[in-house]
Amino acid sequence: MLSISQVEKIADLSHIYLSEDEKVKYQKELSELLDFGKSLQNVSTDEVEPLFQVTGLEAKLREDVVVIYEGADKIVQKSPHGTEGRYFLLMNILARNT
């Protein structure tokens, strides 16, 4: 069974706030999910051939072609976080607040 501190760590890494009730709820649910994953290790796949494509569809590839869009500068200038040359500056969503 996962500990409450492990659930808190998972929530923190996911940038999710959990109430105390939710921590207890997800402690049970995540533990059950991990236990199910462990049970799959006991399934024999010795006689199962590897499967690389499940739908039978084939990817339609196209040639990479560089296309210059003349209005790009106008769009980049409207970035709410500013620009650097022809690139958007984006806020860092992965930064830790702690």
In the chain, the domains with their CATH numbers are 4-40 (1.10.20)
Q: How many CA atoms within 13 Å lie on the side-chain side of 32?
A: 6
SS3 83: strand
Contact present, 63 and 44 (Cβ < 8 Å): no
What are the φ and ψ backbone dihedral angles of 50, each rounded to 5 degrees? -60, 140
Output 16 or 76, whichever has higher pLDDT.
16
Q: Which of 6-10, 69-73, 79-83 has the highest mean pLDDT?
A: 6-10
Cα(89)–Cα(79) distance, integer angstroms: 7
Q: What is the pLDDT of residue 97?
A: 62
Query: 96 falls in which pLDDT band (50, 70, 90)?
Result: low
Structure tokens at 59: 């990817």
pTM score of the predicted model: 0.52
